C-alpha cells in the first residue's frame, strides 16, 4: 500500500526545518540530502533502522558533527548554522540522560541552569527549592528533590532530565525538544507515564522530535513520522495513514511482518531437561517449573516479579547468599543440586545489558568469542591460535557475523554483530540449554525478525531456549510456552502458539 | 568521493599526529637541555695542583690528626666533679626522630639516668615538625623536667619552647645548628657546627694520609641535613691546606634517593672522573648499603669508602676492609654529656659546655662486638668515669 | 549521546582504508609509534645524552650500569602486573619485599643455611599473598584500601623482626651475596631473573587460557563471569603471585644491599607502578605486559644514569621522570587516538534496563571492579 506524502508547509510555519543535510565520513555517506520539518506543537517521530543515519542527524543538530556544505536549517523561522551552533530553543535529552546519579534532582537541574545566587555567589536555597519544585510540578511527578537521582525510578529520572532540558526557556511557546530513545531504559510499565510528560510538553506549545525504535509507542504518541533508510529520506507521513506493517516495510525497504511468529514444534513427550524446585531469591518466592527439550520457554512479568532474577539464578549468577531452592537435570541425574551451585549445570546466559555484561570492549572479536571455550582450544595450557581461528570462523559463518578481521577490537563491529558474538560465545560451549534476556532490546524491526528466526532455527536443531523479556513481541514471536511471573511465583502458564497479545498483557498485569 | 580527497584526509590526519609527535620530542629534548643548563658545576672545590709534589710536611700534619682520631681516649673530656647534691626526683623525656640512630641514642640515656635516680620516657615520633612539637608539648604537660630531642631545629619548636620557658622545663639537643642560651629553656647542646667541621677535618686528613698526599675524592652530601654542611667545609678546607695536589668534588643527593638510586648516582659520578679513588659518605649508615655491590658491578674495585655515622652493616664492612674508615656517631658522648649538664644545672653548679669525642674507626681499631651496634663509648669506661664525677660510684 | 554510533563507526573505519591493499604490513605495524612510542623517546634520550656526556655515556659500561641498577625495579614491576591485569591493585608489594628481605637476612645471621633461609622467606611472602587474597577476594574489601592496610600490618611485622634497625653481619658477604651480586658477563644475576620472569609472564598472558582469562577479569569481570571465567579464583591467585614475585625481589634486594633493612622496599612502590602503567601503553595497546614494562623501566633508568653522568643538578631527576612519563604516554596516545577514532567507541543502543529494579539481584558477587 502506498502512504501519502504530506506536502511541505510554506516556510516560516515550522518549528524546525532542515534541508539538504548531508554528512560524509571519508568515502561513506552517512546522510544524503536529508530534510525534516517539524511543525510547531507536534510530536514528530524519527525512525530508521541501524545504519539509517538517524543518530547522525541528531548529532548534527546537536552540534556534535559538522554537516557537509549546503545544509540549511531554521528554528522558528530563524536561520542557524547547523552543526556549528545550537540555537537556544533547540533542546536535547539524550539516551543517557546526562544526569549525575550521586547528585539530587535539585543539584542536577542547577548543574545545567545555574543556582539562584545572592551577592558573592551564596546560594539562595529556599528560592532554589521553589524553582526546582515548580519545574517538576508541571510534569505531575512527586519526587524527593534532595534524594540522589540514582535512587529514583527510571521514568522519574527521565522527567528530571526533561525538566532540566527545558530550563530557562525564554519566551513561551515554540522551539523543539529532541528526545533520543527516551524509553530505551524504561521498563514497560513506566512508558505510559513518560507519554504523559511528552504530551504535557506539547501542550505547552513546544514541538517534540521523538526518536525511537518502538513502533507501538510511535503509533500511540506521534502525529507524524519521518523515516530514514540508508542515509536517505524515505518520507514524512501522517501516522494515521500508516499501519505497523507499512511502517516496518518503509523502514526496512522490504516486506516485513511485524507480527511474525516463529513456527517451532515441540514433541509432546520430549524429555525434561531442567527442573526447578522452590527457588527463591530477592524477588523470587518459590518458583517451580520444568523445561522440555526443544522448547522455547518464555518468562514474562512486570519488573520486580522476578523475571530478570530467574534467568540469572538458573545460570548460576544469582547472588549466592540469598538464593535457595534446588535444580536438577533429570535426564542426566536424579540428584538435586542447590540453586546456589547452578554454575555446575553450565547453562549460559546472553545478558540484556550488552555493554557492561556482554562484550569485553578491550578484547578482539576472537577473544570475546572464544572466552567460554578456552580449555577446548588449549593443550597443556597453551592456546592453539589455529584452533581459535577455526572456531571463530565457524561461528562467524554460522551466525553471519560481519567483521573485517576478527583480531580487531570488538568495538569495530556494529551493535547487532556484537550481540551475535556474545551469542556465539554462549553457543560455542555447545550447551543444552541457553537463556536469553531481553534479546531484542534496542533492536529495530528488521533485525528483530532475523533474531526470532535464528532462535527458532537453533531450537529446531535441538537447543532448548529460555527467553526472559519485558517485550511481549519477543514472547509472542518465539515462545512455545510462556510462564507469567507475578509476585515472585509462577502465576500463569500459556501456550505460546495460541495466546494473543491482549491475553498475555492481561496475564502479566494481573487482572 | 574521489581517491585524491580520501588520501589528503588521511595525510592530514597522519600529519596532525606527526606534528604532535614532533612537538613532544622537541619538548622532551628542550626540557633536558634546560636541566643541563642548570648548575652543572656541583661545587667542585679544592685547588687544582699547584707547585711541586706533595711535601711530607703536609702528610705529617694530617697523620697527627688521624692518629688523634683513631686513638681511643682513656679519660672523658669533662673533668670538673659535681659537688652539690643532685636532685633525684626528675623526669626526663626523650623524643626520638624516627630514625634508628635516634632511638638508640635515647636508650643510651637510661643507665646514667637510673644512676642519678631520674625517670626516662622515650617517645616515638616520625620526625615531622608537627609530631615533634606536639610530643614536646605533651611531655611538658605530663610533668617532664627536661626534654631531649636530637638534631632540633629551634625555629620549628618555638611554641613548645615558650611553654617550656614558662614552666621551667629544660631542653637539650645534639647535632643542631642552633646555639643554646644557658639562661633559657634551651640551655645546652653538643656536637654543633664546630664539631662536625672537625669530623670533616679528620676525614680529609685520613684521605691525605692514605693516599700519601695526592688524591681525588668524591664527597657525597645530603643538602637537606644542614648540620652536615660544616662537615663538608671541614673536609674540603683540610684537603686544601694539607694537600695541594688533592682535589675534591661534591655530589649532592636527595634524601629520596637514599636506599634506591644513591649507589647508582655515586657510580655515575665516579665514572665521570675516573681518577677519583676516594668516596666520602656524609651519612654512611644511609648511603653505604648497596654501594660496595654497585662499585663491584661497575668494575670500580679500587675505590675506597669513608664516611660519618655507622650501623651494624657499615661496621661489618669496616671490619672486613670494604670500608676504609668511618667516624662513629657519638651517642654515648651525647647521652652522658646531656645528663652531666642537667645534673649541673639542677644542682646549681655552672654548666660546662663540652665537645663530643671524635673516634675514627678502621679495621685496626674497631672492637669485635659489632652485632647490633650503632656506636661504642669512645672511652671504654665512660659510664664509670661519669658516675664518679657525679659522686654516684 | 543516544542513538547509533555503529553506522558512523563503519563509515569512518572505511574512510581510513581497511581495504587489504592499503593495510600496513605487519612489521611496520609493530614499529608504529602507537605501539612503541616509549622506545622512540628512549632512542631520542640516548642520542641526547651521548652528545651531552660523550666520554662516559655511549659505552658498554653505561649499558651495564643501567641494567644492573634497575633490575630490582623491573622485578618489582613484574610482580604487580599480574594482579593489575586482573584489575587488582596490590599496594602492599613494597612491604612484602621488605619483609622477605629482613626475614632471609635474620635467618642467615642466625645460622640458617642460605638455601633454607630463602625458601622460608619465600614461604612468608606466599603467606602474605594469601592474606591479601583473603582480604580482597573473600572478604570483598576494595583492593586499593585492603592492600594499603595489609601493607601497614606487614610493616609492623618488619619492625618486629628487625627491632627497627638494619641487620647485617659478616655472613652478608658470603654465599648469600651471590644471589644479587654475582655477575654474568658484566651483568648482575638479577638481570637474568628479570628476563626469566618476564618471559614466563609473557607466555602466560599471550599464550595460555589463564592469561586470557586474567585479562578478561580485569577488563570486564561481569561479562567474564557470565562467560564462565572463575573471576574470584583468578583474582585470588593473582595476589598470591604478586606477593611471591615481590618476595623474591626483596630477597634479591637484600642480597644487593648486604643487609636486611626495614625500609628497603618502600622506594620501589611508585617506580614499579609507573613502569607498569607506562608499560601497558606499549606493545599491547592498553594491556599490562612484561615487555612494555621492561621498556618503561629502562627508559626511566636511562634517564637517571644519563643525567648523573652528565652531572645534571639533583632536581633534574624528578623532572625527568615526570616529563618522560608524559611524553611517552602522549606520543603513544596521540597516534592511537587518531587511529581509534575510526573505530566506533560504544556500540549502539543495546541497553535494556540497567536500571531494572532486579538488576541488583544478579550476582551479589558482581561487585565493581576491584580498583
* CB contact at 8 A, C143 and C370: yes
Q: Which residues pair with A382 in a beta bridge?
A: A379, C208
- Inter-chain touch B257–C317, beta carbons under 8 Å: yes
Q: What is the CATH number of domain C30-334?
A: 1.10.3470
As a whole number, mean pLDDT of residues A395-410 equals: 86
Residues of B in contact with C265 (CB under 8 A): none
**Confidence class of residue A371 from pLDDT cuts 50, 70 and 90?**
very high
Q: In the CATH scheme, what is the homologous superfamily, with its name and number, of domain A259-348+431-511?
A: P-loop containing nucleotide triphosphate hydrolases (3.40.50.300)
Q: Is A177 on the interface with C (CB under 8 A)?
A: no
Closest among A193, A175, A173 to A183, alpha carbons compared: A193
Q: What is the pTM of this model?
A: 0.79
SS3 of A172-183: the string is: CCCCEEEEECCC
Look at residues B369, B283, B380 and name the one whose alpha carbon lies nearest to residue B329. Answer: B283
The CA distance from A361 to the nearest CA of chain C, in Å, is 8
B-proximal residues of C, 19-48, CB under 8 Å: 33, 37, 40-41, 44-45, 48
Q: Grid coordinates representing B88?
A: 633525684
C-alpha cell at A423: 551469542
Low-confidence ranges of chain B (pLDDT < 50): 1-21, 23, 34-53
Bridge partner list, A43: A208
Three-state SS string over chain B comes to CCHHHHHHHHHHHHHHHHHHHHHHHHHHHHHHHHHHHCCCCCCCECCCCCCCCCCHHHHHHHHHHHHHHHCCCCCCCCCCCCCCCCCCCCEEEEECCCCHHHHHHHHHHHHHHHHCCCEEEEECCCCCHHHHHHHHHHHHHCCCCEEECCCCCHHHHHHHHHHHHHHCCEEEEECCCCCCCCCCCEEEEECCHHHHHHHHHHHHHHHHHHHCCCCEEEEEECCCCHHHHHHHHHHHHHHHHHCCCCEEEEEECCHHHCCCCHHHHHHHHHHHCCCCCEEEECCHHHHCCCHHHHHHHCCCCCCEEEEECCCHHHHHHHHHCCCCEEECCCHHHHHHHHHHHHHHHHHCCCCCCCCCCCCEEECCCCCCCCCCCCCCCCCCCHHHHHHHHCCCC
pLDDT at C331 over 80: no
Residue C105: its H or E element: helix C93-109
Its sign, for the CA torsion A368, A370, A372, A378, is negative
Residue C334: its chain B contacts at CB < 8 A? Answer: 17, 20-21, 24
Q: How far is CA C142 from CA C21, C80, C169, in A?
A: 49, 16, 41
The residues pairing with A494 across neighbouring beta strands, listed in sequence order, are A482
Among chain B residues, CA nearest to C320: B32
Residue A468, helix vs strand vs coil:
strand
> Taking the CB of residue B117, how many other CB atoms lie within 10 A of it?
12
Residue C275 near residue C73, CB atoms below 8 Å: yes
Size of interface B-C (CB pairs under 8 A): 189
Residue A122 is classified by DSSP as -
Cell numbers for A266:
515441540
Residue written as cell 536500571?
Answer: C355
What local confidence, expressed as pLDDT, does residue C208 receive? 94
Nearest to C331 among B21, B42, B256 (CB): B21
Give, in degrees to the nearest 5, the angle at Cα A386 between A375 and A418: 75
- Compute the distance between CA of residue C155 and CA of residue A393 in angstroms, rounded to an integer: 53
Q: Specify the 3-state DSSP secondary structure of A68.
A: coil
DSSP C214-247: HHHHHH-HHHHHHTT--HHHHHHHHHHHHHHHHH
Residue B10: closest C-alpha in chain A: A26
> Residue A174's pLDDT band (boundaries 50, 70, 90)?
confident
User: Quick one: average pLDDT of A250-273?
Assistant: 76
Q: What pLDDT was estimated at residue B19? A: 44
Per-residue cell: C296: 618503561
Pairwise CA distance, residues A222 & A225, whole Å? 7
Distances (CA, A) of A385 to A40, A358, A366, A367, C66: 60, 23, 10, 11, 37
**Does C254 lie at the interface with B, CB-CB under 8 angstroms?**
no
C181-238 per-position pLDDT tens digit: 999 888 999 999 999 999 999 999 999 999 999 999 999 999 999 999 999 999 999 9
Domains and CATH numbers, chain B: 56-71+195-327 (3.40.50.2300), 91-191+331-351+379-389 (3.40.50.2300)
Nearest CB among B252, B264, B290 relative to C314 is that of B252
Reduced to 3 states (helix: H, G, I; strand: E, B; else coil), residue A158 is: helix
pLDDT (tens digit, 9 = 90+) per residue, B162-175? 999 999 999 999 99
* Tens digit of each residue's pLDDT (9 = 90 or more) over C52-108: 989 889 999 999 999 999 999 999 999 999 999 999 999 999 999 999 999 999 999
Q: What does residue C95 show for φ and ψ, rounded to 5 degrees?
A: -75, -35
As a whole number, the mean pLDDT across chain C is: 83
| A355 to C351: CB separation less than 8 angstroms, yes or no | yes
Q: Provide the percentage of residues in chain C whose pLDDT is more than 70.
A: 81
CA C218 to chain centre: 14
Q: What is the pLDDT of residue C302?
A: 93
Q: Which of residues 36-55 of B touch C (CB under 8 A)?
A: 36, 38-42
Which A-chain residues 16-45 have CB contacts (< 8 A) with chain B? Answer: 24, 26-27
Terminal CA-to-CA distance of chain C, rounded, Å? 27
* CA dist list (Å): C170 to A128, B139, B204, B284, C118: 75, 41, 28, 18, 18
By residue count, chain A amounts to: 511
C-alpha cell recorded at residue C94: 613494597
Q: Is the pLDDT of residue A158 over 50?
A: yes
How far apart CA C305 and CA B265 sit, in angstroms, is: 7
What burial class does residue A195 get, using C-beta atoms within 10 Å of its C-beta: 0-12 exposed, 13-18 middle, 19+ buried? middle
- For residues C154 and A331, which has the higher predicted lDDT (pLDDT)? C154
Inform me whether the pLDDT recorded for A25 exceeds 50: yes
Residue that the C-alpha cell 644514569 belongs to: C305
Query: Comparing C-alpha atoms, which of A199, A197, A174 is closest to residue A87?
Result: A174
Taking the C-alpha atoms of residue A336 and residue A344, their distance in angstroms, rounded to an integer, is 12
Residue C290 CB partners (closer than 8 Å, separation 6+): C78, C81, C197, C198, C199, C201, C202, C205, C279
ipTM (interface pTM): 0.81
B125 touches chain C (CB under 8 A): no
CA distance A77 to A11: 7
**What is the share, in percent, of chain A residues with pLDDT greater than 90?**
28
- Return the DSSP state at C14: H
Burial of B196 (0-12, 13-18, 19+ CB in 10 A): buried
pLDDT at B29: 52
CA–CA gap between residue C136 and residue C370 (Å, rounded): 8
What is the per-residue pLDDT for B332? 93
Per residue in B45-55, pLDDT (tens digit) is: 434 444 444 55
SS3 content of chain A, % helix, strand, coil (to 5): 35, 25, 40
Residues of chain A with CATH 3.40.50.300: 1-89+173-258, 259-348+431-511
Tell me how far the alpha carbon of residue A487 is from its chain's centroid: 25
Q: What is the pLDDT of residues A209-248, one digit of tens each?
A: 999 877 888 898 999 999 998 888 999 999 999 988 888 8
Q: Determine the pLDDT at residue C34.
A: 66
Confidence at residue B57, expressed as pLDDT on a 0 to 100 scale: 52
pLDDT score at A416? 76
In this structure, are residues A82 and A67 in contact, taking their beta carbons and an 8 Å threshold? Answer: yes
Identify the burial level of C5 via C-beta atoms within 10 angstroms of its C-beta, where 0-12 means exposed, 13-18 middle and 19 or more buried: buried
pLDDT 10s digits, C236-279: 999 999 999 999 999 999 999 999 999 999 999 989 999 998 89
On chain A, the residues whose CB falls within 8 A of the CB of B1 are 24, 26-27
> Which residue in chain A has the smallest CA separation from C351?
A353
Q: Give residue C22's pLDDT band: very low, low, confident or very high (50, 70, 90).
A: very low
Closest CA–CA distance from residue B312 to any residue of chain C (Å): 6
Structure confidence by residue, pLDDT tens digits, A84-96: 888 888 999 987 7
Q: Under an 8 A CB cutoff, do B31 and C56 touch?
A: no
CB within 8 Å: B268 and C305: yes
Q: Out of 3.40.50.300, 3.40.50.1100, 3.40.190.290, 3.90.79.10, select the CATH number for domain A1-89+173-258.
A: 3.40.50.300
For chain C, what are the domain ranges? Answer: 30-334
How many Å lie between the alpha carbon of A15 and the closest alpha carbon of chain C? 22
Residue tagged 697527627 (cell numbers): B64
Touching subunits for chain B (3+ Cβ pairs under 8 A): A, C
**Burial of A275 by CB count in 10 Å (0-12 exposed, 13-18 middle, 19+ buried)?**
middle
Q: What is the pLDDT of residues A264-300, one digit of tens each?
A: 777 777 889 999 999 998 889 999 999 999 899 999 9
User: B130: how many CB neighbours lie within 10 A of its CB?
Assistant: 10
CB neighbours of A90 closer than 8 A, spacing ≥ 6? A16, A61, A75, A175, A176, A178
Cα C341 from chain centroid (whole Å): 28
Of B74, B54, B226, nearest to B154 (Cα)? Answer: B226
Task: Report the distance separating Cα C31 and Cα B287, nearest Å.
Answer: 41
Amino acid at each position: 500500500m502506498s502512504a501519502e506524502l504530506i506536502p511541505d508547509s510554506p516556510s516560516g510555519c515550522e518549528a524546525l526545518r532542515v534541508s539538504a543535510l548531508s554528512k560524509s565520513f571519508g568515502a561513506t555517506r552517512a546522510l544524503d540530502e536529508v530534510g525534516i520539518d517539524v511543525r510547531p506543537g507536534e510530536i514528530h517521530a524519527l525512525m530508521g533502522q541501524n545504519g539509517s543515519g538517524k543518530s547522525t542527524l541528531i548529532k548534527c543538530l546537536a552540534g556534535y558533527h559538522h554537516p557537509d556544505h549546503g545544509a540549511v536549517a531554521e528554528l522558528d523561522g530563524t536561520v542557524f548554522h547547523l552543526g556549528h551552533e545550537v540555537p537556544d530553543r533547540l533542546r536535547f535529552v539524550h539516551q543517557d540522560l546526562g544526569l549525575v546519579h550521586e547528585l539530587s534532582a535539585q543539584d542536577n537541574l542547577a548543574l545545567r541552569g545555574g543556582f539562584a545566587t545572592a551577592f558573592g555567589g551564596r546560594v539562595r536555597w529556599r528560592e532554589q527549592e521553589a524553582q526546582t519544585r515548580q519545574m517538576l510540578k508541571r510534569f505531575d511527578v512527586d519526587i524527593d528533590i534532595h534524594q540522589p537521582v540514582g535512587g529514583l525510578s527510571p521514568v522519574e529520572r527521565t522527567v528530571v532530565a526533561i525538566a532540566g532540558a527545558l530550563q530557562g526557556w525564554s519566551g513561551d511557546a515554540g522551539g523543539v525538544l529532541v528526545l533520543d530513545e527516551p524509553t530505551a531504559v524504561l521498563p514497560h510499565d513506566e512508558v505510559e507515564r513518560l507519554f504523559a510528560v511528552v504530551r504535557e510538553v506539547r501542550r505547552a506549545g513546544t514541538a517534540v522530535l521523538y526518536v525511537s525504535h518502538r513502533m507501538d509507542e510511535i503509533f500511540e504518541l506521534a502525529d507524524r513520522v519521518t523515516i530514514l533508510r540508508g542515509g536517505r529520506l524515505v518520507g514524512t507521513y501522517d501516522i494515521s495513514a500508516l499501519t505497523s506493517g507499512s511502517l516496518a516495510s518503509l523502514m526496512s525497504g522490504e516486506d516485513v511482518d511485524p507480527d511474525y511468529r516463529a513456527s517451532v514444534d515441540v514433541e509432546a513427550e520430549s524429555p525434561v531437561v531442567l527442573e526447578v524446585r522452590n527457588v527463591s531469591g530477592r524477588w523470587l518466592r518459590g518458583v517451580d517449573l520444568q523445561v522440555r527439550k526443544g522448547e522455547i520457554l518464555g518468562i514474562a512479568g512486570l519488573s520486580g516479579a522476578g523475571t530478570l532474577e530467574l534467568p540469572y539464578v538458573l545460570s548460576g549468577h544469582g547472588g549466592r547468599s540469598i538464593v535457595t531452592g534446588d535444580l536438577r537435570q533429570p535426564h542426566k541425574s536424579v540428584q538435586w543440586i542447590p540453586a546456589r551451585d547452578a554454575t555446575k549445570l553450565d547453562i549460559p546466559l546472553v545478558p540484556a545489558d550488552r555493554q557492561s555484561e556482554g562484550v569485553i570492549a578491550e578484547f578482539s572479536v576472537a577473544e570475546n568469542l572464544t572466552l567460554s571455550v578456552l580449555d577446548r582450544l588449549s593443550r597443556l595450557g597453551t592456546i592453539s591460535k589455529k584452533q581459535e581461528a577455526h572456531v571463530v570462523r565457524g561461528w562467524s559463518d554460522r551466525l553471519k557475523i560481519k567483521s573485517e578481521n576478527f583480531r580487531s577490537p570488538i568495538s569495530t563491529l556494529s551493535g547487532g554483530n556484537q550481540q551475535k558474538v556474545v551469542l556465539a560465545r554462549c553457543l560455542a560451549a555447545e550447551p543444552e540449554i541457553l537463556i536469553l534476556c531481553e534479546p531484542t532490546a534496542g533492536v529495530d524491526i528488521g533485525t528483530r525478525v532475523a533474531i526470532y528466526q535464528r532462535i527458532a532455527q537453533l531450537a529446531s536443531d535441538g537447543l532448548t531456549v529460555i527467553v526472559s523479556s519485558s517485550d511481549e513481541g519477543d514472547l509472542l514471536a518465539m515462545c512455545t510456552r510462556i510462564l507469567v511471573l507475578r509476585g515472585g511465583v509462577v502465576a500463569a502458564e500459556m501456550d505460546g502458539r495460541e495466546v494473543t497479545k491482549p491475553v498475555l498483557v492481561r496475564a502479566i498485569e494481573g487482572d | 568521493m574521489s581517491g585524491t580527497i580520501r588520501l589528503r584526509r588521511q595525510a592530514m590526519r597522519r600529519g596532525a599526529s606527526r606534528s604532535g609527535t614532533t612537538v613532544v620530542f622537541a619538548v622532551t629534548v628542550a626540557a633536558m637541555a634546560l636541566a643541563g643548563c642548570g648548575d652543572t658545576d656541583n661545587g667542585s672545590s679544592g685547588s687544582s695542583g699547584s707547585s711541586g709534589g706533595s711535601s711530607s710536611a703536609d702528610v705529617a700534619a694530617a697523620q697527627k690528626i688521624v692518629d688523634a682520631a683513631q686513638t681511643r681516649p682513656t679519660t672523658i673530656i669533662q673533668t670538673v666533679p659535681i659537688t652539690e647534691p643532685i636532685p633525684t626526683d626528675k623526669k626526663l623525656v626523650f623524643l626520638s626522630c624516627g630514625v634508628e640512630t635516634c632511638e638508640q641514642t635515647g636508650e643510651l640515656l637510661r643507665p646514667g639516668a637510673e644512676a642519678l635516680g631520674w625517670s626516662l620516657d622515650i617517645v616515638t615520633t616520625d620526625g615531622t615538625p608537627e609530631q615533634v612539637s606536639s610530643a614536646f608539648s605533651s611531655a611538658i604537660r605530663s610533668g617532664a623536667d627536661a626534654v631531649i630531642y636530637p638534631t632540633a631545629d629551634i625555629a620549628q619548636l618555638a611554641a613548645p619552647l615558650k611553654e617550656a620557658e614558662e614552666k621551667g622545663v629544660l631542653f637539650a639537643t645534639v647535632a643542631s645548628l642552633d646555639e643554646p642560651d644557658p639562661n633559657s629553656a634551651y640551655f645546652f647542646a653538643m656536637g654543633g657546627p664546630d664539631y662536625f667541621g672537625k669530623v670533616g677535618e679528620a676525614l680529609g686528613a685520613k684521605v691525605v694520609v692514605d693516599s700519601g698526599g695526592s688524591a681525588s675524592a668524591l664527597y657525597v652530601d645530603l643538602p637537606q641535613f644542614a648540620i652536615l654542611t660544616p662537615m663538608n667545609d671541614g673536609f674540603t678546607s683540610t684537603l686544601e691546606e694539607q694537600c695541594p695536589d688533592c682535589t675534591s668534588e661534591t655530589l649532592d643527593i636527595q634524601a629520596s634517593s637514599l636506599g634506591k638510586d644513591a649507589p647508582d648516582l655515586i657510580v655515575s659520578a665516579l665514572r665521570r672522573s675516573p681518577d677519583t679513588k676516594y668516596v666520602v659518605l656524609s651519612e654512611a649508615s644511609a648511603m653505604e648499603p648497596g654501594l660496595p655491590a654497585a662499585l663491584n658491578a661497575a668494575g670500580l674495585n679500587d675505590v675506597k669508602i669513608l664516611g660519618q655515622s655507622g650501623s651494624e652493616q657499615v661496621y661489618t664492612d669496616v671490619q672486613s676492609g670494604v670500608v676504609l674508615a668511618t667516624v662513629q656517631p657519638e651517642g654515648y658522648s651525647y647521652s652522658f654529656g646531656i645528663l652531666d649538664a642537667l645534673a649541673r644545672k639542677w644542682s646549681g653548679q655552672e654548666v660546662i659546655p663540652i665537645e663530643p669525642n671524635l673516634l675514627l674507626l678502621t679495621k685496626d681499631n674497631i672492637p669485635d662486638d659489632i652485632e647490633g651496634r650503632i656506636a661504642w663509648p669512645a672511652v671504654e669506661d665512660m659510664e664509670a668515669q661519669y658516675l664518679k664525677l657525679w659522686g654516684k660510684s | 549521546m543516544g542513538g547509533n554510533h555503529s553506522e558512523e563507526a563503519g563509515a569512518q573505519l572505511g574512510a581510513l582504508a581497511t581495504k587489504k591493499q592499503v593495510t600496513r604490513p605487519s612489521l611496520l605495524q609493530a614499529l608504529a609509534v602507537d605501539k612503541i612510542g616509549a622506545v622512540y623517546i628512549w632512542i631520542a634520550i640516548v642520542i641526547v645524552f651521548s652528545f651531552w656526556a660523550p666520554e662516559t655515556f655511549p659505552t658498554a659500561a653505561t649499558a651495564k650500569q643501567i641494567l644492573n641498577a634497575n633490575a630490582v625495579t623491573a622485578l618489582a614491576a613484574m610482580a604487580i602486573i599480574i594482579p593489575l591485569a586482573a584489575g587488582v591493585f596490590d599496594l602492599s608489594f613494597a612491604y612484602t619485599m621488605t619483609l622477605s628481605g629482613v626475614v632471609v637476612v635474620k635467618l642467615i645471621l642466625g645460622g640458617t643455611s642460605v638455601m633454607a633461609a630463602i625458601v622460608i622467606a619465600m614461604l612468608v611472602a606466599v603467606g602474605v599473598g594469601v592474606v591479601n587474597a583473603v582480604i580482597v577476594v573473600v572478604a570483598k574489601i576494595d583492593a586499593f584500601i585492603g592492600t594499603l592496610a595489609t601493607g601497614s600490618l606487614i610493616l609492623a611485622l618488619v619492625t618486629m623482626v628487625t627491632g627497627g634497625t638494619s641487620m647485617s653481619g659478616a655472613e652478608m658477604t658470603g654465599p648469600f651475596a651471590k644471589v644479587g651480586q654475582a655477575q654474568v658477563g658484566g651483568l648482575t644475576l638479577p638481570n637474568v631473573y628479570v628476563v626469566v620472569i618476564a618471559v614466563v609472564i609473557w607466555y602466560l598472558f599471550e599464550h595460555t587460557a589463564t592469561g586470557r582469562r586474567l585479562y578478561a577479569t580485569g577488563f570486564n569481570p561481569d561479562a567474564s563471569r557470565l562467560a564462565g571465567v572463575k573471576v574470584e579464583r583468578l583474582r585470588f591467585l593473582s595476589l598470591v603471585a604478586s606477593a611471591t614475585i615481590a618476595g623474591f625481589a626483596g630477597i634479591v634486594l637484600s642480597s644487593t644491599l648486604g643487609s636486611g633493612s626495614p625500609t628497603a622496599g618502600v622506594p620501589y612502590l611508585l617506580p614499579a607502578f609507573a613502569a607498569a602503567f607506562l608499560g601497558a601503553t606499549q606493545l599491547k595497546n592498553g594491556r599490562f605486559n612484561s615487555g612494555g614494562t621492561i621498556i618503561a623501566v629502562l627508559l626511566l633508568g636511562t634517564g637517571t644514569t644519563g643525567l648523573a653522568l652528565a652531572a645534571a643538578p639533583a632536581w633534574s631527576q624528578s623532572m625527568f621522570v615526570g616529563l618522560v612519563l608524559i611524553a611517552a604516554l602522549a606520543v603513544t596516545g596521540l597516534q592511537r587516538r587518531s587511529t581509534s577514532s575510526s573505530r566506533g567507541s560504544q556500540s549502539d543502543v543495546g541497553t535494556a534496563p540497567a536500571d531494572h529494579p532486579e538488576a541488583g539481584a544478579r550476582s551479589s558477587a558482581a561487585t565493581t571492579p576491584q580498583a
